[in-house]
């Protein structure tokens, strides 16, 4: 476990997403949750040693990797309202079946049947918790998903930003909004210049160079997909961009096949939704 400042820490050893917690006099604010049952138990044990009081858990978006374990954390959950809308549509049990999307949960299967949890609290733009001397803001920052959020402690210059930035791996594009994502990265780049410690959702911390690299990757994706749309390329053929795009990233050799799958799936889904569906609406 890594300590950023007194009472602010994160753990990036679990499969899935980076999880975090902020300890304040009123209680613990948890950020995301592990995937596997044994990891959730371990994380809960770690948190128990960090203090009592109230507990609340923030889900930074609706991705399966960070929402499959919500119910087992046994804490009230807060999300951006668009994330709550996505979770509400997930009726019944999760049974570990679905498309091969390059999500981390697919490598942890079988996870068993799990019931989806509906958030206890939602917000639109921002909500502030006054649990101690340092206020904690939970803010809407769309891009990776419509309901993506950050947890920001302004006085301590620390921010948990979820999937806003990826290092050494491709982002999830299937539910992305690249123009909104680029605006989100503008805000994040300003925070890095102001000296914020940035904890990202998949690999610890990020610096200004990582934010810049994320921007360049998304611009390249946007440009290439626009070119293919202008050529009336069929959606399945868009997948052929994945190997070339992956070459621009420094990825572990043993994960290249998995990350190629992630990009292929995301590129086709984004192309269908952002170009083809929008085109049909305009007609």
> Residue 250 domain-assigned?
no
DSSP single-letter state for residue 116 = P
Tell me how crowded residue 4 is: count the other CB atoms within 10 A of its CB. 18
The pTM of the full predicted model, rounded to 2 decimals, is: 0.95
> Residue 81 domain-assigned?
yes
Residue 123 phi, psi dihedral angles, 5° rounding: -145, 165
> Residue 260 domain-assigned?
no
> Residue 57 domain-assigned?
yes
**β-pairing verdict for 27-31 and 54-58:** parallel
pLDDT of residue 278: 65
Reading the chain (283 residues) residue by residue, the pLDDT tens digits are 899 999 999 999 999 999 999 999 999 999 999 999 999 999 999 998 877 678 999 999 999 999 999 999 999 999 999 999 999 999 778 877 667 899 999 999 788 889 899 999 999 999 999 999 999 999 999 999 999 999 999 999 999 999 999 999 999 999 999 999 999 999 999 999 999 999 999 989 999 999 999 999 999 999 999 999 999 999 999 999 999 999 999 999 999 999 999 999 999 999 999 998 766 665 5
> Residue 251 domain-assigned?
no
| Integer CA distances (angstroms), 200 to 57, 88, 115, 122, in order | 17, 26, 27, 22
> Residue 10 domain-assigned?
yes
> Residue 227 domain-assigned?
no
CB 272 within 8 Å of CB 235: yes
CB 174 within 8 Å of CB 270: yes
CB 50 within 8 Å of CB 70: no
Domain count for the chain: 1
pLDDT of residue 283: 52
Q: What is the CATH number of the domain that holds 142?
A: 3.60.15.10
> Residue 241 domain-assigned?
no
State the burial class of residue 251 (Cβ atoms within 10 Å of its Cβ: 0-12, 13-18, 19+): middle
Structural domain including 11 reads 2-207
């Amino acid at each position: 476990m890594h300590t950023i400042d007194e009472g602010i820490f994160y753990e990036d050893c679990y499969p899935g997403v980076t999880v975090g917690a902020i300890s304040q006099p009123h209680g613990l604010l948890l950020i995301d949750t592990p995937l596997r049952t044994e990891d959730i138990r371990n994380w809960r044990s770690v948190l128990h040693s960090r203090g009592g009081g109230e507990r609340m858990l923030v889900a930074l978006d609706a991705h399966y990797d960070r929402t499959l374990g919500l119910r087992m954390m046994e804490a009230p959950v807060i999300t951006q309202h668009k994330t709550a809308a996505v979770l509400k549509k997930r009726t019944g049990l999760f049974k570990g079946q679905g498309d091969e999307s390059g999500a981390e949960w697919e490598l942890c299967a079988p996870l068993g049947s799990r019931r989806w949890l509906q958030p206890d609290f939602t917000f639109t733009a921002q909500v502030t918790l006054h649990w101690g001397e340092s206020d904690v803001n939970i803010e809407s920052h769309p891009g990776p998903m419509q309901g993506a959020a950050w947890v920001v402690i302004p006085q301590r210059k620390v921010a948990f930003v979820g999937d806003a930035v990826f290092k050494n791996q491709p982002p999830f594009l299937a539910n992305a909004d690249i123009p909104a994502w680029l605006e989100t990265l503008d805000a994040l780049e300003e925070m890095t210049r102001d000296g914020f410690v940035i904890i990202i959702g998949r690999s610890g911390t990020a610096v200004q160079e990582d934010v810049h690299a994320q921007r360049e990757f998304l611009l390249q994706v946007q440009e290439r997909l626009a070119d293919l749309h202008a050529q009336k390329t069929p959606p399945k053929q868009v997948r052929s961009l994945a190997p070339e795009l992956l070459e621009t990233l420094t990825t572990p050799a043993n994960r290249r096949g998995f990350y190629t799958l992630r990009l292929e799936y995301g590129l086709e889904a984004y192309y269908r939704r952002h170009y083809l569906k929008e085109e049909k609406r305009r007609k």
